[in-house]
Amino acid sequence: MSFKMQIYNSFVLILLCLINFSVFAETKIAILEFELKDLTLAPRIPSEIERTASIKPLLEAELKSAGYVIVNIDHKSQTDSNAGVGYLFDHHDVVAKLGKQFNVDYVLVGRLHKPSFLFAYLMGRLVRVSDARLIGNYISEAKGPNKKLTIKTVESLTVKIDKTLDNNYTPPPPLKK
């Protein structure tokens, strides 16, 4: 076999290995249940609890549509790692330890922060599990409790997360009135 043929074969082999590696190198993300931090005069009303519970599945669907692999961390595991309200949001080392148990690349910890009846902030912190580093701190504002606005706020948060990671997400077009 000639030298040129050996170089060509080596190049093809390396290219195939890279293609194979990229097929299996999917980004795995776990999204923890969002917590509600309601500072209004009527905190934790049922509609706000419901809205907070809707955020995780909405966000999972958006990230899944961008090609991310979503890994579920069950409620018990999350609760066992949590030492109280806001603990996981503030302790990315504990979040990374939890993520390692589920073999994920990243864990998103979220909060719906509601300082007023007029608006709320959807907050997320993205933790890279391999080195327990906080690599993203995101805030998206929602004006009003409307379900459509919550969906748009989740899309906004997805854009921010995706820019930190693989940049694959394309939000849906705005709804026509």
8 A C-beta contact, residue 149 and residue 46 = no
At 32-79, the pLDDT tens digits run 999 999 999 989 899 999 999 999 999 999 999 999 999 999 999 999
pLDDT score recorded for residue 83: 84
State the Rg of the chain over Cα. 20
Name the region of 32 (left: φ>0; alpha: ψ -120 to 50; beta: rest). Answer: beta
CB atoms within 10 A of CB 147: 12
At 114-170, the pLDDT tens digits run 999 899 999 999 999 999 999 999 999 998 778 888 999 999 999 999 999 998 888
What is the rounded distance in angstroms from the CA atom of residue 169 to the CA atom of residue 31? 17
- Residue in the block written with tokens 């959807």: 122
Superfamily of domain 27-164: ABC-type transport auxiliary lipoprotein component (3.40.50.10610)
Position 22 confidence tier, pLDDT thresholds 50, 70, 90: very low
Strands 28-31 and 69-71 come out as parallel
Higher pLDDT, 44 or 110: 110
- Residue in the block written with tokens 């955020």: 55
**What pTM was computed for the model?**
0.83
